Amino acid sequence: MGIKIAALQMSIRDGDRDGNLEEAERLIDQAAKEGAEVLCLPEMWPTGFDYASLLAKAEPVPGPITVFLSEKAAEKGVVILGGSIPERDEDRVYNTAVVFGKNGGLLTSYRKMHLFTLMNEQKYLAGGDVPATFPLGDATAAVVICYDLRFPELFRALITRGVKIIFHPAEFPHPRLHHWRTLIQARAIENQVFMVSTNRSGPGTGGNVFFGHSMIVDPWGEIVAEGGEAPEIVTAEIDLTLVDRVRSSLTSLEDIRRDIFSLDPRN
């Protein structure tokens, strides 16, 4: 039995929280109407990386943005990966992904571990240190954020937790499209997982232009669906039992030298 996945590729208006909320709601409603069961928004969709706005409008979890996402998940009966949002926790702000189940309950939250120095994230945001997984039907899923894609050790740690699909909200700009496509396929192949990567589309602050190309990639590294550069909903129906078939036919995960490399799932 397949699951219909939708990557909601948005053109984010930096600093315009209300406008971005309206656009996110439109995309969620449209994707749900088209039968999508799991929806993934991009990284920092409420504010973009306009740091003044981001810091001013950061909110706790739960807060207005997460209440909105929870209510939409329950209203539409879908799983919503709320991309990531600016989360305030006392005197710190995190780049945090939130996941809501079909009943609107919070399934998990994840604070981005690897902060992107080229966009000065480390000057304004605190980094997380705990991987996050959540149930998706009978399978285990996980979420990472943007720059995390370049750190394969995080992905390997997730595999030790039984993960079969990894969601990856992002804001990847030009000129790194080749890196984006190559690394997503590499993470899928080496870990024998589905990758669902939702990217931002269009211009942003600092002269950045975000190239879209949201992708759904299977455990063989084959691209199941890929968007263009304009805002759109990228959908695909996937069968998570393919993960077991791939891992049975090519046993690379069983052949890891655990006597040399530490793969303790508690780390």
Catalytic residues: 43, 112, 146
Give the bridge partners for 89, in sequence order.
92
1 SS3 class: coil
The token pair at 70 is 């929870």
Q: Cα–Cα distance between 134 and 58 in angstroms, integer?
A: 24
Q: Which residues are CB-contacts of 49 (< 8 A; sequence separation ≥ 6)?
A: 14, 119, 121, 171, 204, 205, 206
Classify residue 126 by its DSSP letter. Answer: B
Cis, bond preceding 42 (omega within 30 deg of 0): no
The closest of 188, 197, 187 to 243, measured between CA atoms, is 188
Q: Where are the beta strands (DSSP E) in 173-231?
A: 194-199, 201-203, 209-211, 215-217, 223-226
Q: Is the Cα torsion angle 238, 253, 187, 161 positive or negative in sign?
A: positive
Name the one residue in this structure whose structure tokens are 């602050």: 205
